[in-house]
Amino acid sequence: MSRRALPYRRVFAVPAAIALLSAAGLGAALLGDGLWDACAWLGLGVPCLLGGWPLLRRRPRG
């Protein structure tokens, strides 16, 4: 908690990138099949992974 406070622009940099990626993923599969679907899996897979991983990760002991 001793870190210096970041400007809000920096706080939202990564979340904004994830938001854009998800939105692109949601849109991509509407435009076609095949490669478009794969883009959608990538776009929605990233938030799944980032949200799911810390939940499943074993907590360090001590």
- Which residues of this protein are in contact with another protein, per CB under 8 A? 1-6, 8, 11-15, 18-19, 22-23, 26, 29-33, 36-37, 40-41, 44-48, 50-52, 54-55, 59-60
Nearest to 25 by CA among 38, 6, 7: 38
- In whole angstroms, how close is the CB of 6 to another protein at the nearest point? 5
- In whole angstroms, how close is the CB of 35 to another protein at the nearest point? 12
Burial degree of 47 (CB within 10 A; 0-12, 13-18, 19+): middle
- In whole angstroms, how close is the CB of 26 to another protein at the nearest point? 6
CB 27 within 8 A of CB 19: no
